[in-house]
Amino acid sequence: MGEILPLKKLQGSEDTHFAKTGDTRAAQDNNGEGAFERLQEMVASDMAEVNEIILRRMESPVAMIPQLAGHLIASGGKRLRPILTLASAKLVGYEGRRHTSLAACVEFIHTATLLHDDVVDESGLRRGRKTANVLWGNKPSVLVGDFLFSRAFELMVDDGSLKVLRILSAASSTIAEGEVLQLMTSNDTTTGEEAYLEVITAKTASLFAAACQVSAVVGERPEAEELALQSYGKNLGIAFQLVDDALDYSAAQEALGKTIGDDFREGKLTLPVILAYRRGDEEERAFWKRTVERQKQQDGDLEKAVALLHRHGTIADTIDRARHYGAMARDALAIFPASPARSALSGVVDFCINRAH
């Protein structure tokens, strides 16, 4: 793995954006370090309530359900999506209690998606622990995922707003479409950047967008704010997934206790490979066709793949693309007055892009 460069080296140090928007505190830590912790602190008491709701709604007389769902939910992850719902509620000055249930709902949708993703992807490690699928088998992952989806819908229904229901159920449909689309572009080296963007917008960014947007809805904010939060979430989600896909080929990933090369082994066409295929010569394209399209892989192929990505600078370029969407996400927040919540949400963009350090 010696050929795999740490991500840090690949990243530029421009990012004077915050100074331009006058958001000086965020500019002080514009690499996002500390921003996520600040956000976590800001929503800590709300998050305690979200955790209670999650535990309560996971309950079932069927013992395997809380066991399996609990495994995934206790392993924690960053809880980034529910945090976005809570922070967006703070941003718009919402003072009610509906946002915590919706944050739990968003986390349930995300967890269900992970469970179903584990079934189909055979990825070895997630969040540094064995996946539910490896521990429990395919069947429970499908069925407990279904249970969590259903509970997510019950949480939405209990909220009682048809508008919220429409936003979250549409996001859920879009995620499923995105997953199928991803499947169809797997093993297909003709996949272009546009098709790739369509996949990640659907499978990842749509839930980020909905997670933020619903807080403007419960806060009864004007449509412009709702659309701004939707745009923030969507662009943050795209940036997040771009970085994720770059990390899958990066040594920085290993520091997080995750395996690298999962996407490669599965023949997933992500941007680093899409760009390398296009920029490569005939011999390189033959390599990608064999390994990713026909999935005939042998020892040393992953190392060779990583070397090709570096030769064409496609991991760094993928991060650059992420910066573009990150900038759009930050600009979407500009219509809100400066506030600790706005600074923290801005900082999360950098956190997502630089999280690999």
Site residues (vs its own copies, CB under 8 A): 60-65, 116, 119-120, 138-140, 142-144, 146-147, 149-151, 153-154, 157, 160, 162, 165-166, 169-170, 172-173, 175-177, 179-181, 183-184
Rounded CA separation 124/268 (Å): 15
Rounded CA separation 154/166 (Å): 13
Q: What is the DSSP letter of 188?
A: -
Among residues 57 and 323, whose Cβ is nearest to its own copies? 57
CB of 191 to its own copies, least distance (A): 14
Among residues 183 and 307, whose Cβ is nearest to its own copies? 183
**Which tokens hold the place of 247?**
């990390």
Among residues 140 and 326, whose Cβ is nearest to its own copies? 140
Q: Provide the terminal-to-terminal Cα distance of the chain, rounded to the nearest Å.
A: 17
Among residues 63 and 299, whose Cβ is nearest to its own copies? 63
CB of 87 to its own copies, least distance (A): 26
Rounded CA separation 335/331 (Å): 8
Q: What is the DSSP letter of 125?
A: E
Among residues 169 and 339, whose Cβ is nearest to its own copies? 169
CB of 5 to its own copies, least distance (A): 32
**What are the φ/ψ torsions at residue 161 (nearest 5 degrees)?**
-95, 120
Among residues 156 and 243, whose Cβ is nearest to its own copies? 156
CB of 85 to its own copies, least distance (A): 19
Chain center to CA of 227: 20
CB of 267 to its own copies, least distance (A): 12
Among residues 138 and 295, whose Cβ is nearest to its own copies? 138
Q: What is the DSSP letter of 12?
A: -
CB of 202 to its own copies, least distance (A): 9
Question: Dihedral angle at the C-alpha atoms of 321, 323, 325, 328, nearest 10 degrees?
Answer: -140
Contact 195, 188 (CB under 8 A): no
CB of 260 to its own copies, least distance (A): 22
Provide CB contacts within 8 A for 295, sequence distance 6+. 187, 265, 267
Nearest to residue 346, comparing CAs of 248, 157, 332? Answer: 332
Contact 240, 204 (CB under 8 A): yes
